[in-house]
Chain A
């Protein structure tokens, strides 16, 4: 059974801090790993990482996939209060029929 574990469960930082969120996975025939941000209701897509694209960056957010360690990190530099959200990690396996397995999420709170 595929498994995704995120850590920490929750995190409180102050504006300007840098945070690192972790995602580890156990999946047969890994295809991709995705990060989502959920502020209030609908999660929104951040990054997708695959064997051919193990590092992605967008503004203050960046993510790296470590296929050897079966994990990924999401970095947020110079955090802002608007970064407060639940960050979700999900993995997809080949031949999984469009199914994603999600982790439990990390709740980030950024204080002014």
Chain B
């Protein structure tokens, strides 16, 4: 089945550690996104990528990094520079760059807790 797979679903991290969240899609979508969701704050955009080897910062990129080496994959690294990383992280994709975003397809999310 086509879709977006995020892993791990749950992750615990000690302060000062970097962690990488995986996101893979087999929908052949051009555009991929990372959102952060905190209670009562909806979704905030961290990074997005419209094409391989290119990505743009969203509203809250500080303390995060991404790569887009393959069309299907868009991993997110939460670095030790991120001051408050405990959150629910959602990866999403949409069909084509340069056209309206239209429907976003979401993964099941990764819940990161910093101990």
Contacts and interface: CB of A to CB of B under 8 A. Distances in A.
A32 interface: yes
Interface string A40-63: 011111001000000000000000
Nearest to A6: B42
Given A98-B94, A98-B97, A104 B31 contact: no
B102 A48 contact: yes
B104 A45 contact: yes
Contacts of B43: 43, 88, 90, 102
Contacts, number: 58
B68 to A, nearest CB: 14
A100 interface: yes
Question: Interface residues of A toward B: which range?
Answer: 20 to 34
Contacts of B75: none
B90 A99 contact: no
B45 A105 contact: no
B8 interface: no
Contacts of A98: 31, 48, 50, 94, 97, 101
A88 B107 contact: no
A105 B97 CA distance: 26
28 contacts: A32-B100, A36-B104, A41-B109, A42-B90, A42-B106, A42-B107, A42-B109, A43-B43, A44-B106, A45-B103, A48-B102, A48-B103, A88-B43, A92-B100, A92-B101, A97-B50, A97-B56, A98-B48, A98-B94, A98-B101, A99-B45, A99-B48, A99-B101, A100-B45, A102-B42, A103-B42, A104-B40, A105-B40
Interface of B: 31, 35, 40-45, 48, 50, 56, 58, 90, 94, 97, 100-109
List the 4 shortest-distance A-B pairs measured between CB atoms, nearest first.
A42-B106, A102-B43, A104-B42, A102-B42
